[in-house]
Amino acid sequence: MVLIVFLLAYLIRRQLDTANRVSGDKLWRHWFHRADTVKAGHENGVVGGLTLVVLPALVAGLGIYALDVVGWQIAGYPLEILILVLLMGVPGWGAVLRAYSMSWRRGDMQAAWRNVEDRLPADERGAALSPDALHLSVARVFMVTVFQRFFLVAFWYVVGGVGVAVLARGMVALAEQWPRAAARPRFERYAEILAWIPVRLLSVTFGIAGDLAGWLRESPDGAGRIHKNVADTLMVSANGSLTGYALDPNRFSQMHPEEWADFGARSLSAIRDLLNRSMLVWICALALLVIFGIA
């Protein structure tokens, strides 16, 4: 049932994303506001945040386990689907990327920047970014966001159950949305630890779902390094797996200067296709694990 539960949750979540409905980020933000008050000098403390993530993870995991013990396992499947739907999803990104691509095609980079400004890291929101730097920043943030809200959740759900999936997704939410910014770097380190295995698994999947020869050229010196973070691992492996210089604006502009206006849309389309194919590879791999009785 692991495959069926995840597949149903994934399909429902994709439909909700298309309709821009039900944002998990908003739910986490509302939940974290319970810890708005803190004693002076303890702004970088992490105990409160960890408690607010571990608690729902335990409730979800123990609740599903209890239903299994009492023989009501069938009642747990709809609950798991609901939890996964809430954990996954990138609502709003589709409209943002469409507006960004249209602005790029018109050559209005100021409008393109305004469309994605709120999605970029705080230190990369300067309007003086070059078109190349802006696009690479957008691509990086988009891939990391999709990884954290789909692949990370999927990996830990299959490996550890819905409770561990809640824990992994909650750690990402703490790193992004915890009310006290001083504590976020520590949560980010915890999130990186939880992402270490799944991001490298996704890196390998990029090679399978994309240009394997290109991935093999890039991966030994890039994505395979132990200390690379999530963003760098994804960028290096995706760059090798994509053809047509989709993540190399400088090279693309040199090889196809007459098509530069279409670069933004073509690059983002290639990235989205690679991510979709990679999820299909994961689903197929999960199906094989189920067939062989491993999952």
Note the pLDDT tens digit of each residue in 29-88.
999 987 655 555 555 678 889 999 999 999 999 999 999 888 888 889 999 999 999 999
pLDDT at 239 over 80: yes
| CA 143, 145, 149, 153 torsion-angle sign | positive
pLDDT at 251 over 70: yes
Q: What CA–CA distance (Å, rounded) separates 58 from 9?
A: 21
- Between 175-189, 211-225, 269-283, the lowest mean confidence (pLDDT) is in 211-225
Cβ burial, residue 97 (10 Å; 0-12/13-18/19+): buried
b/e per residue, 218-251, with b = 16+ CB within 10 A?
A: bbeebbeeeebebbebbbbbbbbbbebbbbbbee
pLDDT at 131: 87
CB 206 within 8 A of CB 237: yes
Show the tokens assigned to 284.
Answer: 């197929």
Q: What CA–CA distance (Å, rounded) separates 187 from 167?
A: 12
pLDDT tens, 76-109? 999 999 999 999 999 999 999 999 999 999 988 8
pLDDT at 171 over 90: yes
pLDDT at 215 over 80: yes
Full-model pTM: 0.94
Show the tokens assigned to 60.
Answer: 């979800």
